[in-house]
């Protein structure tokens, strides 16, 4: 049983929120409802009050109980807040820090997980500003259950319809279950590239941006985990609630990882250098007139994933295999030779999902022979799916 707040905004799909409230109450949850002024054009407080037997909140300035401030107390009471439907207007206001109604004030004062179920015309949904605002809210920890394709109130048969009520209910209950399983668990994540010095000026590195690892770290922290992020040099902000350790070389990353071998889950997304110069020049290497060929002798770096696999104990180990050819072959080999529980493989020869891209397309291979495929999507959304999948598999 959980405490769930349902926020309802002004769209025709608001009538489905009555059914969602009913389904959650039938499942044994406590539900409180907050309606925006625009939602009142489509549904009435009485409908929700009759089902939930709770006061329905509509006005920030109408305090039924003078001993509390309602828009703060509601968030403290909740285990999760579900906004269904959420309109382009509410998405835009929340993303830009505008809190001019009861629901937005509840969200402004909230520290609990938030799930949003968008519903709008397909052209509105695809507006760059709407998509930009959704991405902004996702970076701040909000989760979205994607709209469906189907018949819309405007007459279109296209994407924009709110997800079905049973699907939202299932998503909410899975969120709550995962929150409980991850709360207080230690998750170690590596991200970004490493740099191997040639001289004081130059180094060997790769094109990794760290975006996938940071998205996973953000998703794990949002679910209550204690996240340690060992990061190579990237230009990304530290996700909220994440402890970051900055490193440069593969050896430095290895030393940082060894300090956190007590993690419950290890997710190794970093694109570490496989080779490092045998000797590093103490001064900048200079050109020599007439010399056409230069050579740098290399040696292999420490295999971090293999070391962790050999010493992991109870850690659930997830590695990444970013390959340019024979992707599945190399991923399957890595799964076995590194003693991993899961390998996440992706084809980085595809520039649209390669290193430094905003999107990714992956397949998760598990050591029991099963697999989970995820279509191309933005890395922040994918980060949530990866974390949820890992938690479900680990606790089987």
Which residues are tagged catalytic?
A: 154
Number of helices (H) and strands (E), helices first, in the chain?
Answer: 13, 19
Q: Are 115 and 143 in contact (CB under 8 A)?
A: yes
Q: Are 299 and 278 in contact (CB under 8 A)?
A: yes
Distance from C-alpha of 54 to C-alpha of 89, rounded to nearest angstrom = 27
Q: Are 92 and 133 in contact (CB under 8 A)?
A: yes
5: left (phi over 0), alpha (psi -120 to 50) or beta: beta
φ and ψ of 239, to 5 deg: -60, 150
Quick one: tokens of 239? 């996700």
Residue 373: which of 360, 384, 364, 383 has the closest Cα?
364
Quick one: tokens of 236? 């990304």
Q: Are 268 and 304 in contact (CB under 8 A)?
A: yes
């Amino acid at each position: 049983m959980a405490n769930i707040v349902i926020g309802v905004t002004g769209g025709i799909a608001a009538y489905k929120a009555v059914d969602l409230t009913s389904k959650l109450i039938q499942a044994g949850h406590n539900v409180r409802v907050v309606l925006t002024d625009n939602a009142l054009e489509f549904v009435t407080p009485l409908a929700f009050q009759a089902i939930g037997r709770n006061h329905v909140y509509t006005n920030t300035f109408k305090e039924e109980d003078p001993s509390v401030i309602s828009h703060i107390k509601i968030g403290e009471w909740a285990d999760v807040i579900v906004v269904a439907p959420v309109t382009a207007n509410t998405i835009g206001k929340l993303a830009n820090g505008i809190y001019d109604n009861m629901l937005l004030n509840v969200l402004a004062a909230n520290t609990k997980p938030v799930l949003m179920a968008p519903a709008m015309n397909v052209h509105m949904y695809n507006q760059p500003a709407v998509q930009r605002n959704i991405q902004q809210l996702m970076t701040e920890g909000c989760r979205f259950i994607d709209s469906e394709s189907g018949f819309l109130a405007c007459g279109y048969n296209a994407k924009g319809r709110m997800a079905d009520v049973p699907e939202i209910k299932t998503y909410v209950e899975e969120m709550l279950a995962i929150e409980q399983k991850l709360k207080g668990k230690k998750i170690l994540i590596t991200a970004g590239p490493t740099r191997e010095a040639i001289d004081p000026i130059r180094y060997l590195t790769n094109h990794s941006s760290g975006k996938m690892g940071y998205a996973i770290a953000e998703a794990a922290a949002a679910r209550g985990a204690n996240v340690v992020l060992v990061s190579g040099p990237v230009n990304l902000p530290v996700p909220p609630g994440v402890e970051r350790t900055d490193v440069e070389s593969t050896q430095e990353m290895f030393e940082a990882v060894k300090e956190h071998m007590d993690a419950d889950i290890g997710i190794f997304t970093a694109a570490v250098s496989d080779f490092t110069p045998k000797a590093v020049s103490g001064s900048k290497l200079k050109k020599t007139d007439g010399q056409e060929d230069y050579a740098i002798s290399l040696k292999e770096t420490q295999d971090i994933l293999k070391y962790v696999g050999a010493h992991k104990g109870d850690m659930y180990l997830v590695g990444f295999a970013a390959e340019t050819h024979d992707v599945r072959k190399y991923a399957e080999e890595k799964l076995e030779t590194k003693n991993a529980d899961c390998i996440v493989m992706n084809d980085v020869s595809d520039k649209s999902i390669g290193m430094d891209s905003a999107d990714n397309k992956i397949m998760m291979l598990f050591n029991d022979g099963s697999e989970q495929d995820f279509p191309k999507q933005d890395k922040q959304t994918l980060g949530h799916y990866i974390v949820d999948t890992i938690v479900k598999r680990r606790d089987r």
